[in-house]
Amino acid sequence: MIDAMQNVFWILIFPGFVFTLAVGLLASWLVRKVSALVQYRVGPPVYQPVADVMKLMGKEILIPQEAHRSIFVMAPLAGLSGVLLLSAVLWLATARIDYVGDIIVAAYLMIFPSLALILGSSASGSPHAAVGAGREMKLVLSYELPLVLAILVVIIKTAGLTEPGEQLSLAAISQHTPVLSVSGALAFLVALLCVQAKLGFVPFDIAESETELASGVLIEYSGALLGVWKLMQAMMLVALPLFLVIVFLGGIGLSGLSILWGIGKFVLILVLVILIKNTNPRVRIDQAMRFFWVYCGTVMVVAVVLASLGNVYNISWL
């Protein structure tokens, strides 16, 4: 009984839904504030994302006549639940509660928000949303391969370092820092760009490009449903950098100074994402596809080869 209550507390409050949401809203404020400072202006106050979401919850929901009602309404909720599950898996891994294959579960759950975006925009009944959905589909096809290869590099490197009998899970991976090797560094860079695309930030915010597609995928959403999409995007800002920290940078420790060090790593990735966002223009979808498949794919294949070589010949810095 106490156990169940504690589990519910962990999943819903800390570090589950409410905590991730709060950190996510804070992170999205950080994105806007740092972008403002980079552009030599004052940014929004710290409660701005909270005000945005509250305002959206209070507005009316308009459903277009040609939209597919049930999918239109369920898609944002599905996306939100996907991110919630993803963050639950990652927090469990941070707490060293792991199971075999949780890295596959995490990689699978990361596709969920993009899938929900595609479903929701296809159900919108609007040509803008349809074009946005097509672009999002192409984008997902582009960056999934380099991302999986990057995770593969980390698995190869960690497999050589774990004790026999220790299961290869996120918690085990987070004991090591693969980024301090050549293949790991390459994999980290590519994974960072894939995360940039997954978060929907410039230069890869092709699906929700405001100026081109009149908000693309989310054009027909309003009110509370749009608020749920914004919540999902805020929680992704926590889950995806956390994934990068766990897989590449050695995770968030559990005691004392290592907690601060872990938070520092998380903030570092967030700042990298923000700086890339502020210094680049948006690319076209065909440029994005070529970038991920040709350049990142080639780099990743090289990294996999290097990692395997390092594994076979016991060279740890490869």
Partner 1 sequence: MNNGSTINHQSSIVNRLRLWSLKKSIWVFHVNTGACNNCDIEIVNLLTPKFDVERFGIKLVGSPRHADALLVTGGGTRQAAIRLREVYRQTAKPCVVFCMGACACGMGIFEKGYHMAGPIDSIIREVDPHAIIAYVPGCPPKPQAMIMGVVKVLAALEPKESYATERVGQAVVAGAG
Footprint of partner 1 (CB under 8 A): 32, 36, 39-45, 47-48, 50-52, 54-55, 58-62, 210-211, 213-216, 218-223, 226
18 or 104: CB nearest partner 1: 18
CB 148 within 8 A of CB 284: no
Minimum CB separation of residue 28 from partner 1 in Å reads 13
101 or 127: CB nearest partner 1: 127
Calpha distance 174→89 (Å, rounded) = 13
Category of 96 on φ-ψ map: left (φ > 0), alpha (ψ -120 to 50) or beta: left
Structure tokens at 26: 């804070």
Calpha distance 278→115 (Å, rounded) = 26
Residue of 235, 14, 22 lying closest to 109 (CA atoms) = 235
167 or 279: CB nearest partner 1: 279
Minimum CB separation of residue 208 from partner 1 in Å reads 9
Minimum CB separation of residue 64 from partner 1 in Å reads 9
Q: Which residues 6+ apart lie within 8 Å of 143 measured at CB?
A: 193, 194, 197, 198, 204, 292, 296
* 110-to-87, 135, 167, 291 alpha-carbon distances in Å: 10, 18, 22, 21
176 or 230: CB nearest partner 1: 230
40 or 317: CB nearest partner 1: 40
Minimum CB separation of residue 113 from partner 1 in Å reads 19
Minimum CB separation of residue 11 from partner 1 in Å reads 26
Chain CA centroid to CA 210, Å: 21
